Amino acid sequence: MALVNTKEMFKKAYEGGYAIGAFNVNNMEIIQGITEAAGELKAPVILQVSKGARAYANPTYLVKLVEAAVAENPDIPIVLHLDHGPSFEMCKACVDDGFTSVMFDGSSKPYEENVAEASKVVEYAHKYNVTVEAELGTLGGVEDEVSVEADKAMYTDPDQVQDFVKRTGVDSLAIAIGTSHGAYKFKPGQDPKLRLDILQEVADRLPGFPIVLHGASSVPQEFVKIINENGGNMPNAIGIPESELRKAAKMAVCKINVDSDIRLAMTANIRKYFHDHPDHFDPRQYLAPARQAVKEMVAHKIVDVMGCNGKA
């Protein structure tokens, strides 16, 4: 199967009450770990690339690595998606490079600018059968070059969503309901809940329309523990409870973004490997268990959080 856009995938996910996992990729081991899990579980999957990942790995390498994953996993639909595209120009570059989905993130811009630029992206992308995600509302945490204080993060206003979707023509909408980027989403003692009431209000205003959750890593405590026991220092790293994400996946949420959990899986295993084998220096020796840990973590997400296993 060639790369696909998100249209059909999201329609089935919405109707089926599940979500598709959207995992950030920036090297071969991460791409292999994710797609081996999705392939074995017959799960549709979204591989997403940020501006920072493009700068790190070089867009040509990433596209070719993803094409290799598609060839190795011919039975599952795979989307190649631009994550947090900051401008029309970057979205256009990804469409031209063969991406099948792009996100234009104008969430930090004034509303009318967000509408205008998202519309321009949609007009270009749709000519090439590329689907477009946009965002309304501000998440806390750290994105490419932007750090948003948690108390400055703002929930999406359900009164804006109909106007935004109608005027831009976007195919899916990321909303802010209490998730945030990075490994420190809640402080100890806080109630780690999502505003599922806002999600429901948005869904009521946009029946059948796919909603996206960014900043949805659950920050597995077993990884944090391994990191801290092997020379790391990540006190109070706390994520979104998987039970909250599962509820959202059964509602209008069709795409759940996970990046920090991949970083934690890799880092925990590499730190432990070096602790246990201080004399080893062959990257294949420490990257193989890290890749395996990504695969196992993604398999768990597909089954227990997204519910998209067997939906390919």
Residues catalogued as catalytic: 83
301 binds, among ligand 13P, Zn ion, ligand G3H, none (CB under 5 to 8 A by kind): none
Cα-based torsion angle of the residue sequence 174, 161, 13, 11 in order, rounded to the nearest 10 degrees? -120
Which residue, 36 or 143, is less far from ligand 13P as judged by CB?
143
- For residue 223, the minimal CB distance to ligand 13P (Å) is 12
Which residue, 83 or 201, is less far from Zn ion as judged by CB?
83
Which residue, 167 or 300, is less far from ligand 13P as judged by CB?
300
Residues that bind ligand G3H (CB under 6 A): 24, 50, 52-53, 83-84, 143-144, 181, 259
- For residue 135, the minimal CB distance to ligand G3H (Å) is 11
Phi, psi of 167 (to 5 degrees): -80, -30
- In sequence order, what are the beta bridge partners of 104? 85, 134
- For residue 53, the minimal CB distance to ligand G3H (Å) is 5
Number of H helices, E strands in the chain: 12, 10
271 binds, among ligand 13P, Zn ion, ligand G3H, none (CB under 5 to 8 A by kind): none
Residues that bind ligand 13P (CB under 6 A): 24, 83-84, 181-182, 214-217, 257-260
Phi, psi of 46 (to 5 degrees): -115, 125
Helix ranges (DSSP H) in 251-307: 260-276, 283-300
Q: Which DSSP category does 303 fall into?
A: I
216 binds, among ligand 13P, ligand G3H, Zn ion, none (CB under 5 to 8 A by kind): ligand 13P
269 binds, among Zn ion, ligand G3H, ligand 13P, none (CB under 5 to 8 A by kind): none
- For residue 181, the minimal CB distance to ligand G3H (Å) is 5
* Residue 184 and residue 148 in contact, taking contact as beta carbons nearer than 8 Å: no
Residues that bind Zn ion (CB under 5 A): 214
CA 27 to centroid of chain Cα atoms:
16
Q: How far is CA 279 from CA 226, 273, 275, 282, in A?
A: 20, 10, 9, 10
